[in-house]
Chains A and B, each alone.
Chain A
Amino acid sequence: MGGSGRPPSPPGVRHAPGDPGRSSISRISRARSWWPGPRLVSLVVGGGAAVLVLYPIAYLIQASLSVGDPQARPPEAYGLDNFAGLPRYAHIFGNTLLVAGVATILAVVVGFAMGWILSRTNVPGRAAFEQLMAMPYYVTPLMGALAWALIGSASSGFVNQLWRALGGSGHLIDINTPGGIAWVMALFEGSVAFVMIGAVMKSMDPAMEEASQVLGAGRLRTMLRITLPLVLPGVLGAAVFVFAEMLGSFSAALVLGLPARFYVVTTAMYQLVSQYPPRFPTAAAMGVSLFALMFAMVWIYRRIIRSGTYVTITGKAFRPRVMDVGPLRWPLLALCVVYLGVAVVLPVLTIAYASFQRLTTVFPRADNFTWANYQTALSLDAVRSALANSLILGFATASIGVVLMGFLSWLIYRSRLPGAGAIEYLLMFPQAVPRLVFAFGMLWAWLVFPIPIYGTLWLLLIAYLTVFLPLGIRTISGVILQIDRSLEESAQMCGATWGYRLRTVTMPLLKPGLVAAWLLLFIASVRELGASILLMGPKAKVITPAIVESWFSTSSELTAALALLQTLAVAVALAVLFAVARRAVQAGGE
């Protein structure tokens, strides 16, 4: 090649900071970069996040140990009396376990069936269905509960009205039962199970199934004796995780349980602190017990994950072999359609139908239809300001959350700084605490905080960021772990400092994951109920608790109108954001 086309750099020239160039190493190693080291930033951010999580929990525990005057703050005396008094509520704990257990079984069965159908069989339209499987998550458990209350109430539920019209007597289904609650919980909170189990299915090496079939085993036998045992650890892990979430479920039990005198721990706590005099210590003791139980579940789940013999999502993506199920395709397709119909289409249609009536019934007379519900809804302060607040809050939570949780994910899984493991453990805490319980601790904790954020949207923002930490970190770290470490190391070897690397290599590669996390956080914060219901203030109303309040203090038709308005607003916001996101992902390159 040609001679020295570039001028050699004179030996004495100082290069930019971080440029070893050709100067001596000693000069480099003593060079001080102005950018704060990763350790410092990690300490601040990680420590801050840890405080965010532990502060309310500390107050929760303090409240649970408070004996003496329940109103006194700080507690007059400490003792275990509150816990000693818990056996009185044994039936409530029993209810909680029952409902959570049934819901988990249902969710896992649905998740497994859907997961298998959509990733291992040749049912047509699989790709489309997989996208649609996320929809129940967007319908939100509250909306699902409201809709199913309208569909399945013993007397006035649509199904029962139809049943009686067809000549039946009494009622066909009663949604205000533990079974009904579990059904709604499984339908709307079980899509998590589908995602987790589906992922397990996809990461299975198809060669194992092929080996079975080559040796002569039929499809069903292969499924039962090869596929099932291999995915069993993954399924178990998902089951434990879903169970932990169900323990903390609030919306379905609130809407469907109260009318049936059926309390679970979360709704009982809500009742206890809503009365006068409020029984904070008892509620706190209940909360701590639930927390302990969920914590144990999450610990078990993590043990299963780490056991190593477990098929996880690795960087390698197998191409799962699809089984030809022949004529079975059509019934299986029908199953998927039915699931989506029951979980998405039916609730939305029901709510819409009810919102246009004066007194909801399946066979309305012509004069029963009215716009009045929407008129009232739009005139209510609750709707206008709450919707706006929810959207703003959703936007803020998602945007700040993505940055915060992105950094924390990097910190935990990539930085190899000391204490990363402890931080990971700490930040997953909120997963083991039901939102309501957490909000309770926050209420107690932030009331006394000198900065006046109580009753404002700021408090809600902090609450959301805290309770969504596990969600965001889980999503983003899933993507981070797929980025080969060597991509960052090679940047390091090219001389990039940690900040430069983060910006030019890690973040762009994370973009799809960050976008996904953003959307998840947005939806989660708009649909949030358990924490918001305790922490709202007069000027900091958000839409989901407003819908619940409406359910309890106005008519179901008005509530239906509100719920539909919320769904529409979120759908519109999402559509806009999807369009923006798709362009952003494309612009960022592959």
Chain B
Amino acid sequence: MITRRRFLRTGALTATAVPFAMRPFLASAQPRATKVLDFQTGADVAKAEQEGEVVYYGHDGEAGIAVLLDAFKKDFPKIKTSYVRLQTGALYAKITAERSAGRFGVDVLQLSDISPAVDFQKKGGWEQYPSPEYAAYKPEYQSTPAGYYGVPGVSFAGISYHRAKVKPEQAPKTWKDIVNPAFKDGISAKLATSGMQHAQWYILRKMYGNDFWQEFAKLRPKGFDARAQLFDRLAKGEDRICALAEYAGYTLYQEKGAEIEFVAPPEGMPAIAIYIGVVNKAPHPQAARLFVDWAMSRRGQQIYQNQKILLYGSVRPDVGPMPTGKKLSDFKLLFPTDWNDYVASHATFVKEWNALMGL
């Protein structure tokens, strides 16, 4: 079994290979930690409130980001929030394009794929800011060296299908079932812009061989941008089965009364961590630090985990279970083993997955 620990450790080793020259000079002294509300922050809160604004680039759905930022605003009413929401691939493309043209307008960046996170570190995009809240996290949930980014949550995905549209004998039980020809023209997944999709592609490929996804391609799957869309269609019966059904999405729609089932295959469920960090040359540096501290604190983690629309499993040990009553350890999660290989596979993934999706 591939553990989170091993995955992140290999990631850490590779990250240290970053050429020193590429990193801009950073303040390496540990900032003074002060207490604000119920968490520690290395930011100058007064100055942050003077800056008055934080610009957040994230990959969650609009409603999810709204919940997150509203919670922050409630705690810090003097700091306005604004955001850009795009799927991770698009988001990263946008911020790199902006930065390569000399535009630095982003304070906090959150990604759902390790590849761009590490790439950003290579490019000197993250500021090395050792948040005092990182102390609550195990080293494998931090960047290497520490301080570039943290892991505010983990998401994982199984299979989900519409009860009325799938005959009981065809109901999927393992990952192998998603290439069942009976699901032709009725199966959905995410597009190549998704970090989660990259993870699933990589892991199942390793598990079942390169041909696995060729079989999948024969089913003419439909690709979408966000889990809300996947579940929307599934709930309406537009698709019969979803091959990348995030647990969080399932929970949300099941509450709405959709006739959907969730399957956690015995092989395990592909999982990704999401990454957040302060962006280098941020226009509002103190506010950015404050936000990251907040997000990584128990307070913030409760938002990430317990807000139904976000529902990321927290890796902070002192946050309670998810609203469904389960904890992350209750699920069998799969992370990529060879991290280098994983990152390097991204280009192949995009090409193959695009073709698979009809592009």
A residues engaging B (CB < 8 A)? 71, 73, 92, 153-156, 258-263, 268, 271-278, 358-361, 376, 379-382, 443, 447-448, 452, 454-455, 536-539, 549-556, 558
What residues of B have a CB within 8 angstroms of the CB of A263 in the complex? 358-359
What residues of B have a CB within 8 angstroms of the CB of A156 in the complex? 236-238
Verify A273–B224 contact, CB threshold 8 A: no
A539 to B82, CA, bound (A): 7
A553 to B65, CA, bound (A): 11
Report how many A-B pairs have Cβ atoms within 8 Å.
139
A556 to B258, CA, bound (A): 14
A381 to B357, CA, bound (A): 32
What residues of A have a CB within 8 angstroms of the CB of B220 in the complex? 261
What residues of A have a CB within 8 angstroms of the CB of B340 in the complex? none
Verify B98–A381 contact, CB threshold 8 A: no
What residues of A have a CB within 8 angstroms of the CB of B350 in the complex? 275-277
User: At the interface, yes or no: B61 with Cβ under 8 Å from chain A?
Assistant: yes
Verify A261–B103 contact, CB threshold 8 A: no
Verify A454–B98 contact, CB threshold 8 A: yes
User: At the interface, yes or no: B116 with Cβ under 8 Å from chain A?
Assistant: yes
Q: How far in angstroms is the closest Cβ of chain B from A63?
A: 11
Instruction: State whether A261 and B358 are in contact (beta carbons under 8 Å apart), knowing that A278-B97, A381-B66 are contacts in the complex.
Output: yes
Instruction: State whether A555 and B228 are in contact (beta carbons under 8 Å apart), knowing that A276-B116, A358-B257 are contacts in the complex.
Output: yes
What residues of B have a CB within 8 angstroms of the CB of A274 in the complex? 86-87, 89-90, 93, 193
A493 to B265, CA, bound (A): 88
What residues of A have a CB within 8 angstroms of the CB of B115 in the complex? 276
List 11 additional contacts besides A361-B236, A538-B84; criterion CB under 8 Å. Answer: A153-B238, A259-B238, A261-B357, A262-B358, A275-B93, A277-B350, A381-B66, A443-B97, A448-B101, A554-B63, A555-B228
- Chain A to chain B contacts (Cβ below 8 Å), 29 pairs: A71-B100, A73-B100, A155-B237, A258-B222, A258-B223, A260-B222, A261-B220, A261-B222, A261-B357, A263-B359, A271-B191, A274-B86, A275-B93, A276-B350, A278-B97, A359-B257, A360-B236, A381-B66, A382-B62, A447-B97, A448-B101, A538-B55, A538-B105, A549-B62, A551-B229, A552-B229, A553-B225, A556-B232, A558-B63
Of residues 59 to 82 in B, which have CB atoms within 8 Å of A's CB atoms?
Answer: 61-63, 66, 69, 81-82
Contact mask B211-243 → A, CB, 8 Å, 1/0?
Answer: 000000000101111101100110111100000
A258 to B63, CA, bound (A): 22
Verify A380–B66 contact, CB threshold 8 A: yes
Q: How far in angstroms is the closest Cβ of chain A from B163?
A: 14
What residues of A have a CB within 8 angstroms of the CB of B232 in the complex? 555-556
Verify A553–B61 contact, CB threshold 8 A: yes
Q: How far in angstroms is the closest Cβ of chain B from A372?
A: 10
Contact of A538 among B82, B102, B113, B236 (CB under 8 A): B82
Q: How far in angstroms is the closest Cβ of chain A from B201?
A: 14
Closest to A367 in B: B257
Verify B101–A73 contact, CB threshold 8 A: yes
A379 to B67, CA, bound (A): 10
8 closest cross-chain pairs (CB), A and B: A261-B358, A156-B236, A274-B90, A447-B101, A553-B61, A278-B93, A276-B89, A553-B226
A452 to B61, CA, bound (A): 28
What residues of B have a CB within 8 angstroms of the CB of A261 in the complex? 220, 222-223, 357-358
Q: How far in angstroms is the closest Cβ of chain A from B119?
A: 8
Instruction: State whether A447 and B103 are in contact (beta carbons under 8 Å apart), knowing that A156-B237, A358-B256 are contacts in the complex.
Output: yes
Verify A552–B256 contact, CB threshold 8 A: no
A274 to B229, CA, bound (A): 17
Verify B103–A276 contact, CB threshold 8 A: no
User: At the interface, yes or no: B85 with Cβ under 8 Å from chain A?
Assistant: yes
Closest to A365 in B: B257
Interface of A is mostly: loop
What residues of A have a CB within 8 angstroms of the CB of B62 in the complex? 380, 382, 549-550, 553-554
Closest to A278 in B: B93
Closest to B87 in A: A274
What residues of B have a CB within 8 angstroms of the CB of A259 in the complex? 222, 224, 233, 238
A558 to B66, CA, bound (A): 14
Q: How far in angstroms is the closest Cβ of chain A from B216?
A: 13
Contact of B103 among A361, A381, A454 (CB under 8 A): A454
What residues of A have a CB within 8 angstroms of the CB of B100 in the complex? 71, 73
What residues of B have a CB within 8 angstroms of the CB of A360 in the complex? 236
Interface centre among A268, A360, A552 (most CB of B within 10 A): A552
A261 to B102, CA, bound (A): 36
A71 to B100, CA, bound (A): 9
User: At the interface, yes or no: B92 with Cβ under 8 Å from chain A?
Assistant: yes
Verify A538–B228 contact, CB threshold 8 A: no
A277 to B351, CA, bound (A): 11
Instruction: State whether A276 and B92 are in contact (beta carbons under 8 Å apart), knowing that A263-B358, A268-B359, A553-B226 are contacts in the complex.
Output: yes
A353 to B56, CA, bound (A): 34
What residues of A have a CB within 8 angstroms of the CB of B236 in the complex? 153, 155-156, 359-361
Closest to A381 in B: B66
What residues of A have a CB within 8 angstroms of the CB of B359 in the complex? 92, 263, 268, 271-272
What residues of A have a CB within 8 angstroms of the CB of B90 in the complex? 273-276, 278
User: At the interface, yes or no: B96 with Cβ under 8 Å from chain A?
Assistant: yes
A137 to B192, CA, bound (A): 34
A275 to B61, CA, bound (A): 17
Closest to A546 in B: B62
What residues of B have a CB within 8 angstroms of the CB of A381 in the complex? 66, 69, 81-83
What residues of A have a CB within 8 angstroms of the CB of B314 in the complex? none
User: At the interface, yes or no: B142 with Cβ under 8 Å from chain A?
Assistant: no
A416 to B15, CA, bound (A): 66
Closest to A273 in B: B93
Verify B192–A549 contact, CB threshold 8 A: no
Verify A552–B224 contact, CB threshold 8 A: yes
What residues of B have a CB within 8 angstroms of the CB of A443 in the complex? 97
A272 to B355, CA, bound (A): 12
A448 to B97, CA, bound (A): 10
Q: How far in angstroms is the closest Cβ of chain A from B20?
A: 22
What residues of A have a CB within 8 angstroms of the CB of B238 in the complex? 153-156, 259
Verify B358–A549 contact, CB threshold 8 A: no
A376 to B88, CA, bound (A): 24
Contact of A549 among B85, B105, B113, B233 (CB under 8 A): B85
What residues of A have a CB within 8 angstroms of the CB of B358 in the complex? 261-263
Q: How far in angstroms is the closest Cβ of chain A from B212?
A: 19
What residues of A have a CB within 8 angstroms of the CB of B103 in the complex? 447, 452, 454-455
A214 to B67, CA, bound (A): 75
Verify A537–B84 contact, CB threshold 8 A: yes
Q: How far in angstroms is the closest Cβ of chain A from B111?
A: 9
Verify A276–B88 contact, CB threshold 8 A: yes
What residues of A have a CB within 8 angstroms of the CB of B56 in the complex? 538
Interface centre among A154, A276, A452, A556 (most CB of B within 10 A): A276
What residues of A have a CB within 8 angstroms of the CB of B257 in the complex? 358-359
Interface centre among A262, A447, A539, A553 (most CB of B within 10 A): A553
Closest to A279 in B: B350
Closest to B193 in A: A275
Q: How far in angstroms is the closest Cβ of chain A from B62?
A: 5
What residues of B have a CB within 8 angstroms of the CB of A452 in the complex? 103
Interface centre among A277, A379, A380, A550 (most CB of B within 10 A): A277
Q: How far in angstroms is the closest Cβ of chain A from B327?
A: 27
What residues of B have a CB within 8 angstroms of the CB of A380 in the complex? 62-63, 66
What residues of A have a CB within 8 angstroms of the CB of B69 in the complex? 381
